[in-house]
Amino acid sequence: MTASVLVQPALVLIVGGLLLPLLKGRLRGALIVIAPLVALALAWQVPDGEALRISYLGFALTPVRGDALSRLFAVTFAAMAFAGGVFALNQKRSVELAAAYCYAGSAIGAAFAGDLITLFIFWEAMAIASTLIVWSAGTTARGAGMRYAIIHLLGGVLLMAGIAGEIAASGTTAFQPLALDSVPRWLILSAFLLNAGTPPLSAWLPDAYPEASWSGMVFLSAFTTKAAIYVLIRGFAGTELLIPVGLFMACYGIVYAALENDMRRLLAYSLVNQIGFMIVGIGIGTEMALNGAATHAVASVFYQALLIMTAGAVLFVTGKRRFTDIGGLARTMPLTAACCVVGALSIASFPLASGFISKTMISEAAGQEGLAIVWYLLAAASAGVVLHAGMRYPWLAFFGKEQTPPSTDPPWSMRIAMLLLAALSIGIGVAPQYLYALLPYPVDYTPYTGAHVVFYVQLLLFAALAFVLMRRWLPPAEAITLDIDWLYRRLGPAVAAAGLRAADRISGRIAESARQAASASVKAIEALHGPGGILARTWPTGRMAFWATVMLGAYLILFYL
């Protein structure tokens, strides 16, 4: 390894992304394929320790700081950019892929950020680039993209305030583990959790992601939430609050995904469900739990993207995304269906698929720490995965009753990307030692023991039985389930409108009484001075002379008194 880095790996993808709209044809294709691979190679070679230091505005910045954890996430992000780039090769909208590469590059930059200011810059770049991805899907995504942008700008404000407070209090810009003992640190944690898709501000995820294009959602699913997991591992490992938060996310994701009619929204909720597992691991905070959270983040980047690619392929080919419009697609899209099954097995943690070697590590850590309730809930949530991406999604889209719109497997570039991620998911599941070697702590865990395998096979098969027997209670229906975003999409505007109406009424009433008062005084003046008013009347000369005489007489009397 070299002692320092010559090029920040993030810049390769960001510059590559900015160049993409200028290129056409083969050159564009070559850049799409090569840029992530170069970034991957550079990220792999970042040495341990601070590899780049600069001074900016009087602050010492460390744009590149390497260790096992940051390399693991950066390499994963670069690999995901490659798979997503191949999948999106025939995406006609040039803005989307340019934004996606800037987005992936920023995620890599955040993974290597050694100080809070660098982290903030890449954090905001991710927010902007991902908003552009949502918007590039066209007019239907405008509203969701705007809501997404506003929520993430709020997150940026929280992070900015937190970082400013942290630097003022500690005097250092370094990004170190943060104990939850001051307001700025709470602000930083809430900004991180917002990006991880944690309730109460979680609804942006199932709201915005499914509105992106068939290729856009693949990128969106991979970077924002996983970069949040990375910074939580780095900054807030062992924060106990995260355990109940993660458990809630795992269960909430299942319940909402199980009700979804839109396959892409189902997958968005399944993403929240999986992130819940990681957050529980971070909250437990032991070396095994953190290893588990990191492995699960890596494994889930790939299988989640794989599942979203299969849904993207269906959307690309049929233009449909609701279960009420599709079904039985395995007949016409066999390869997509097979990849979907691989993704489903991986997310369900079936032995020999990637989730099995990662999620089980988090459960094992909970068991070793004696956290009974956590362990039982994680087991239940592992079973619950069959109610969404584990079984419900493949069943309804590919194997359910046939109502196939005309369809075939998608073009070769999309097929290659899906096959790549399917191979990766199985590869990680079959030979976990290569991934384990990249983890931040030494791994003292054997996933393939007889007891583990039997446990998960039983758990998942009987969960599958439960799904088969009870799927009538979770039928696809042309309906939506209200989420937290109802508060700002319906209640907020309604309250604002009611407030405006009330203000209107009050100001109307004030204006009305002012008008009445004004017209009353006008009338009073008119009564005195108007035509026929007492002061405007023409008085006869005789009366004038009479009153003048009276006045003079009164004066005379007063003079003598």
Partner 1 sequence: MRWVNFDGKSAGRPAIVAFAALLTLAALADFLVAHHPHFGLDGTFGFAAWFGFAGCVVFVALARLVAAILRRPDGAYDS
Read off the tokens for 512.
């009305």
Q: Which of 426, 348, 349 is nearest to 394 (CA)?
A: 348
Q: What kind and span of H or E run contains 24?
A: none
What backbone phi and psi angles, to 5 degrees, belong to 269?
A: -70, -35
Name residue 147's amino acid: R
Cβ–Cβ under 8 Å, residues 95 and 426: no
Is 375 near partner 1 (CB under 8 A)?
yes
Give the nearest distance from C-beta 383 to partner 1 in angstroms: 4
Give the nearest distance from C-beta 297 to partner 1 in angstroms: 24
Give the nearest distance from C-beta 500 to partner 1 in angstroms: 19
Residues 437-496 contacting partner 1, CB under 8 A: 449-451, 453-463, 465-470, 473-474, 478-483, 489-490
- Residues 137, 154: Cα–Cα separation, whole Å: 23
DSSP state at residue 60: E
- Residues 285, 243: Cα–Cα separation, whole Å: 10
Residues 196-255 contacting partner 1, CB under 8 A: 251, 254-255
Cβ–Cβ under 8 Å, residues 222 and 301: yes
Residues 485-544 contacting partner 1, CB under 8 A: 489-490
Residue number, 457 or 545, with CB nearest to partner 1 = 457
DSSP lists the bridge partners of residue 50 as: 65
Please say whether the dihedral angle defined by the alpha carbons of residues 264, 265, 271 and 274, taken in this order, is positive or negative: negative
Q: What angle do CA 396, 401, 404 make, to 5 degrees?
A: 85
Residue number, 479 or 557, with CB nearest to partner 1 = 479
Contacts of 98 (CB under 8 A, 6+ apart): 17, 18, 20, 21
Name residue 332's amino acid: T
Is 368 near partner 1 (CB under 8 A)?
yes
Residue number, 42 or 366, with CB nearest to partner 1 = 366
Is 150 near partner 1 (CB under 8 A)?
no
* 289: number of Cβ within 10 Å: 29
Read off the tokens for 233.
């591992």
Please say whether the dihedral angle defined by the alpha carbons of residues 84, 86, 90 and 95, taken in this order, is positive or negative: positive
Query: x/- binding map, residues 105-144, to partner 1, per CB under 8 A?
Result: ----------------------------------------
CA atoms within 13 A on the CB side of 142: 3
* Of 376, 412, 546, 547, the one binding partner 1 by CB under 8 A: 376
The window from 210-218, 306-314, 380-388, 551-559 that contacts partner 1 (CB under 8 A) reads: 380-388
Residues 252-271 contacting partner 1, CB under 8 A: 254-256, 258-259, 261
Cβ–Cβ under 8 Å, residues 5 and 64: yes
Give the nearest distance from C-beta 457 to partner 1 in angstroms: 5
Q: What kind and span of H or E run contains 468?
A: helix 450-470
Cβ–Cβ under 8 Å, residues 136 and 96: yes
Cβ–Cβ under 8 Å, residues 103 and 12: no
Residue number, 39 or 396, with CB nearest to partner 1 = 396
Residue number, 56 or 376, with CB nearest to partner 1 = 376
Is 557 near partner 1 (CB under 8 A)?
no
SS3 per residue for 336-388: HHHHHHHHHHHHCCCCCCHHHHHHHHHHHHHHHCCCHHHHHHHHHHHHHHHHC
Residue number, 162 or 285, with CB nearest to partner 1 = 285
Give the nearest distance from C-beta 98 to partner 1 in angstroms: 30
DSSP state at residue 527: H
* Of 18, 60, 160, 379, the one binding partner 1 by CB under 8 A: 379
Give the nearest distance from C-beta 496 to partner 1 in angstroms: 16
Give the nearest distance from C-beta 370 to partner 1 in angstroms: 7
Residue number, 171 or 450, with CB nearest to partner 1 = 450
Residue number, 285 or 384, with CB nearest to partner 1 = 384
What backbone phi and psi angles, to 5 degrees, belong to 66?
A: -105, 145
The window from 24-32, 113-121, 383-391, 517-525 that contacts partner 1 (CB under 8 A) reads: 383-391
- List, in sequence order, every beta strand (DSSP E) within 127-185: none
Residue number, 44 or 488, with CB nearest to partner 1 = 488
Give the nearest distance from C-beta 483 to partner 1 in angstroms: 8
Residue number, 38 or 379, with CB nearest to partner 1 = 379
- Residues 394, 130: Cα–Cα separation, whole Å: 27
Is 56 near partner 1 (CB under 8 A)?
no
Contacts of 20 (CB under 8 A, 6+ apart): 28, 31, 32, 94, 97, 98, 101
Residues 398-417 contacting partner 1, CB under 8 A: 400-401
CA atoms within 13 A on the CB side of 4: 7
Give the nearest distance from C-beta 284 to partner 1 in angstroms: 13
What backbone phi and psi angles, to 5 degrees, belong to 433?
A: -60, -30
Size, binding site for partner 1 by CB under 8 A:
53
Is 167 near partner 1 (CB under 8 A)?
no
Is 384 near partner 1 (CB under 8 A)?
yes
Give the nearest distance from C-beta 490 to partner 1 in angstroms: 7
Residue number, 165 or 328, with CB nearest to partner 1 = 328
* Of 27, 183, 372, 500, the one binding partner 1 by CB under 8 A: 372
Read off the tokens for 438.
């990249």
What residue ranges bind partner 1 (CB under 8 A)? 251, 254-256, 258-259, 261, 367-368, 370, 372, 375-376, 379-384, 386-387, 400-401, 449-451, 453-463, 465-470, 473-474, 478-483, 489-490
